[in-house]
């Protein structure tokens, strides 16, 4: 594991409406990373914030993950831009990519959504997101097929599904932090 991430446990806490401004700012500063999630998210910070707040109000579960000294190093949970679907959302700050955190983040998201009553999760990464495709295969997601292109300039997405119970690597990152 990278020296930037000394311990096996990461600090995870629920995202509230109060946090939506910070989350929206982080996502807006990384349009390539948001596109790599497979979400149909806008790239404008104000629009992102409105959608995140709306998703939280509608019951979406989102968590922030502290990575080192970065309180919002990752955002995981229900896809706030695909309400009504059982789609998960995994975004990792560009500063922390390449540190082998992706599989832990996906496993933790599966576990937490399962604890919230979700029986399955859907992932729709772009076909070119090889890191996501490797992670989904390692965590025994089932390949369902290629999704039709929704927008003319969009990249095709690959649909994967998985139950939230059992399977390799579905363990915790750590305990949820109390909010102050």
CATH at 27: 3.40.630.30
Sign for the pseudo-dihedral over CA of 129, 134, 140, 146: positive
SS (H, E, C) 98-115: CCCCHHHHHHHHHHHHHH
Poorest-pLDDT segment among 8-17, 65-74, 86-95, 128-137: 8-17
H helices, E strands: number in the chain: 5, 7
The answer to whether position 179 is within a domain reads no
Structural domain of 61 = 11-163
The answer to whether position 122 is within a domain reads yes
The answer to whether position 74 is within a domain reads yes
Mean pLDDT (whole number) for 33-39: 85
The answer to whether position 91 is within a domain reads yes
The pLDDT score that the predictor gives to residue 154 is: 73
**Residue 157 and residue 168: Cα distance in Å, rounded?**
24
Percent of the chain with pLDDT over 90: 54
Q: What is the pLDDT of residues 42-56, one digit of tens each?
A: 888 999 999 999 999
Contacts of 30 (CB under 8 A, 6+ apart): 91, 93, 94
The pLDDT score that the predictor gives to residue 75 is: 95
Confidence bin at 163 (pLDDT 50/70/90): very high
CB atoms within 10 A of CB 61: 21
CB 141 within 8 A of CB 161: yes
Instruction: Look at residue 106 and tell me whether its pLDDT is greater than 60.
Output: yes
Instruction: Look at residue 180 and tell me whether its pLDDT is greater than 50.
Output: no
The answer to whether position 54 is within a domain reads yes
Distances (CA, A) of 97 to 34, 105, 115, 136: 13, 12, 27, 16
The answer to whether position 170 is within a domain reads no
Domain count across the chain: 1
Contacts of 98 (CB under 8 A, 6+ apart): none
- pLDDT top residue among 63 and 35: 63
**Residue 164 and residue 173: Cα distance in Å, rounded?**
16
**Residue 177 and residue 65: Cα distance in Å, rounded?**
10
Instruction: Look at residue 3 and tell me whether its pLDDT is greater than 50.
Output: no
Look up the pTM and report it.
0.81
The answer to whether position 159 is within a domain reads yes
Mean pLDDT (whole number) for 73-79: 94
């Amino acid at each position: 594991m990278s020296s930037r991430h000394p311990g096996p446990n990461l600090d995870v806490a629920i995202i509230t409406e109060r946090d939506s401004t910070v989350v929206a700012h982080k996502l807006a500063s990384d349009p390539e990373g948001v596109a790599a999630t497979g979400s149909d998210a806008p790239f404008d910070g104000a629009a992102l914030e409105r959608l995140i707040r709306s998703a939280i109000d509608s019951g979406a579960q989102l968590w922030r993950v502290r990575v080192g000294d970065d309180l919002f190093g990752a955002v995981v949970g229900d896809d706030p831009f695909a309400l009504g679907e059982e789609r998960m959302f995994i975004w990792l700050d560009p500063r922390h990519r390449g540190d082998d955190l992706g599989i832990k983040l996906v496993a933790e998201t599966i576990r937490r959504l399962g604890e919230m009553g979700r029986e399955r999760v859907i992932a729709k990464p772009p076909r070119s997101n090889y890191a996501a495709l490797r992670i989904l295969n390692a965590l025994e997601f089932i390949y369902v097929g290629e999704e039709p292109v929704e927008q003319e300039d969009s990249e095709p997405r690959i649909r994967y599904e998985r139950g939230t119970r059992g399977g390799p690597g579905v363990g915790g990152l750590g305990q949820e932090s109390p909010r102050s």
